[in-house]
Structure 1
Amino acid sequence: MIDAIIAASLRRGELLPETFPDTRDPVRPFYDALAASDPAVIAEVKYASPSGPTGATLPPGLLAREMAAGGAAALSVLTEPTVFGGDPSFIREVKRYTDLPVLRKDILVHPAQIAESRHIGADAVLLIAMVLGDDLPAFVNHSFACGLEPVIEIADEVELQAAVATGARIIGINNRDLRTLVIDPDRASRLGPLIRSYGRIPVAMSGIMAPDDLRRYRGRCGAFLIGTAISSAEDPKSATEAFVCM
């Protein structure tokens, strides 16, 4: 499935213009928001996953407003349309309803998608080490040049070394294998302290479904990206509060 998503993203990227009009929208400091919160919960606007719809019913802006009211430090917005039910327009809608910084979560594979991310209002972008390979440093540098905070997603020690060799200050650990979709809940526990030893913020990603899950990573990761457990909740504000007040 991941290969099909990458191919679809590349096709979309190739259709983008080389440059975008300058935006006067100030960038909201994503790194500072995570560094200032304990725990730093990144609540995700998420409508679908490879396993199907998440059950989220509120539109993006209202869902984000509830997450912000619940104490989220930052937001992640899925913009991948083919599997995750996202759309780039969600980012501006979310930012009309909240002052929190926003991460664009997508499978970004074309340089034009970085400039596009700034144009549509993102403050940070997800860069997946497995997907970008040797292009990772160039994408990190391009993100900084566009005024965006790069968040590198890794899955193992080899990708960790590739990530810390760049200037990225935030490194996410995906507990889910992108090819098999199997979750290893110990992955973030193992890699988080290593990332911290390099002075970067480690973010635990995937498989965090309840506040008790988050406790496994306290002291090992500095931030936690939580999608389905909050987006699909009947009361997203209370669901966010449960993680923040864990």
Structure 2
Amino acid sequence: MTATFTEALLSARRPVIMELKRQDSAGRDLFGGRPVARIVAAYQDAGAPCLSVVTGRWFGGTPDLLREVAEATDLPLLQKDFLTRRSQLDRARESGVSAVLLTAALLPRSTLGNLVDHGLRLGLTPFVEVATEEEGRRVPRAEECVVAVNNKDIATRERGAADIGRSTALLPALLSGGTRCPVSASGIRRPEDAARLVREGFAGVLVGTGLLRADSLPRWLDDFDRCRGDGGSPPTAPVPADAPRSPPVP
């Protein structure tokens, strides 16, 4: 890999983790007959710093999708699935991924700690997904993890509406917990919402359905740049958790 998952995101001109998933939460097709390699090439041409690959069955994912993506790119890859055992992390590393999803809501504190430790030993970035402050407080070694707010609820298999306000509300707690790479994930459809989250202090956003359904991927990302209002330049340094926070740009 050309860079670790975290470093690729933190140094990105466009800090958008671009996702490949075959279906949305209602089972509707998202690829529209496009070959995997074509989608990967479009994301690369758009300057994706890293990719997310959904192998979970809720979204029509399979290990074969991960293999196809890994064969088509050298970008750092995140495997999104419900990973709960060390052997799954071993297989993920063998598949060529750089980061693995760990869902705090599904993992007792000790198990989450063991999986974070094991992933880091393997050279993987733990991408720890949280939905509450309590879950955020349970993330061990947060400074070495990506900590992502899921704007949807896994209890309903993510079939309900997204609450992007959840990300805004939890960001201070994530920063105070020590992560240098907070991410907002799921349900981000509009480029203006993605841009606002980055302006508020997120190191990146993860977008899947919004990009796969966009009439024009370049136009979506151009709108993101315009709404972000800073020319798409990466930050020179992470924002300290106790730094004064400017209001969002209207």
Question: TM exceeds 0.5?
Answer: yes
Counterpart residue type for residue 126 of structure 1 = L
1:123 and 1:133 map into 2 onto residues whose CA distance is: 24
Query: What is the 5 A alignment of 1:157-236?
Result: 157-164=133-140, 166=142, 168-180=144-156, 181=158, 182=160, 183-197=162-176, 198-217=178-197, 218-236=199-217
Q: Is the 8 A contact 1:196 1:202 kept in 2?
A: yes
Counterpart residue type for residue 224 of structure 2 = F
Residues 84-105 of structure 1: CA deviation (Å, up to 9, x unaligned): 1112222232233333211001
Say how many residue pairs are matched: 220
Query: What is the 5 A alignment of 1:1-246?
Result: 26=1, 28-57=3-32, 58-80=34-56, 82-134=57-109, 135-164=111-140, 166=142, 168-180=144-156, 181=158, 182=160, 183-197=162-176, 198-217=178-197, 218-243=199-224, 246=227
Residues 141-165 of structure 1: CA deviation (Å, up to 9, x unaligned): 1111122111100001000000155
Q: Is the 8 A contact 1:127 1:153 kept in 2?
A: yes
- Distance change in 2, residues 1:190/1:95 (3 Å): same
Length-normalised TM-score, structure 2:
0.80
Q: For structure 1, which segment, 64-73 or 147-156, has the greater mean C-alpha deviation from structure 2 after superposition?
A: 64-73
What secondary structure sits across from 1:130 in the alignment?
Answer: helix
Q: For structure 1, which segment, 183-192 or 91-100, has the greater mean C-alpha deviation from structure 2 after superposition?
A: 91-100
2:151 and 2:212 map into 1 onto residues whose CA distance is: 19
What secondary structure sits across from 1:216 in the alignment?
Answer: helix
Length-normalised TM-score, structure 1:
0.81
Q: Is the 8 A contact 2:192 2:223 kept in 1?
A: no
- Distance change in 2, residues 1:242/1:89 (3 Å): farther
What secondary structure sits across from 2:183 in the alignment?
Answer: strand
Q: For structure 1, which segment, 86-95 or 41-50, has the greater mean C-alpha deviation from structure 2 after superposition?
A: 86-95
1:27 and 1:104 map into 2 onto residues whose CA distance is: 17
- Distance change in 2, residues 1:111/1:210 (3 Å): same
1:201 and 1:166 map into 2 onto residues whose CA distance is: 9
1:33 and 1:179 map into 2 onto residues whose CA distance is: 31
Alpha-carbon offset, residue 175 of structure 1? 0.7
- Distance change in 2, residues 1:244/1:73 (3 Å): farther
1:190 and 1:38 map into 2 onto residues whose CA distance is: 25
% identity of equivalent residues? 33
Alpha-carbon offset, residue 234 of structure 1? 4.4
Gaps of 5+ in 2: 228-250
Residues 165-215 of structure 1: CA deviation (Å, up to 9, x unaligned): 556421000010111333222111111232223242110011110111113
2:55 and 2:200 map into 1 onto residues whose CA distance is: 31
